Amino acid sequence: MKLATRRSERKRRHLTIRKKISGTQERPRLAVFRSHQHIYAQIIDDTIGHTIVSASTVEPEERKDGTYFGNIDAAKVIGERIAKRALEKGITQVVFDRGGNRYHGRVAALADAAREHGLEL
């Protein structure tokens, strides 16, 4: 018998979510992945399988001061950055994909920051 780990349970939840939501050209999917030290956000058109816009804490302009990025403040910065980049590409509405994580903490902070800067979730 295989014991469930946090990672395998998150993956199972993520697959369940992905059965229900999909990004289109009119309303692409905002996918969030959170690791221990970083947070990543992508806006994806699932009909053609392309990432339209992305932002993460591992980008060179983020890494210049060497601070810790696994916190809510970093998630707010990434939410703001993904919203600005999406609006530059003409994207105003997205479907939010929390990636199997709870809508709490860094994931919620990223979504709230994206909303505040003009992205409709």
Residue 62 scores a pLDDT above 80? no
Domain presence at residue 5: no
Total of domains in the chain: 1
When the pLDDT of each residue in the chain is averaged and rounded to a whole number, the result is 91
Q: b or e along 20-51 (b: 16 or more beta carbons within 10 Å of the residue's beta carbon)?
A: eeebeeebbbbbbbbeeebbbbbbbbbeeeee
Q: What is the pLDDT of residues 66-77, one digit of tens each?
A: 678 889 999 999
CATH number for position 48 = 3.30.420.100
- Distance of alpha carbon 102 from alpha carbon 13, whole angstroms: 10
- pLDDT value for 84: 97
User: Does 80 reside within a domain?
Assistant: yes
* Residue with more model confidence, 85 or 70: 85
Specify if 67 maps to a domain: yes
DSSP string, 36-59: SS-EEEEEEETTTTEEEEEEETTS
Q: Grade residue 1 by pLDDT with cuts at 50, 70 and 90.
A: low
Question: Does residue 90 lie in a domain region?
Answer: yes
Cα–Cα dist 15/106, whole Å: 21
Domain assignment present for 60: yes
What does the pLDDT look like over 14-47, one tens digit per residue?
899 988 888 888 999 999 999 999 999 999 999 9
Structural domain contains residue 39: yes
Expressed as residue numbers, the domain containing 49 is 23-116
Q: Is residue 16 one of the residues assigned to a domain?
A: no
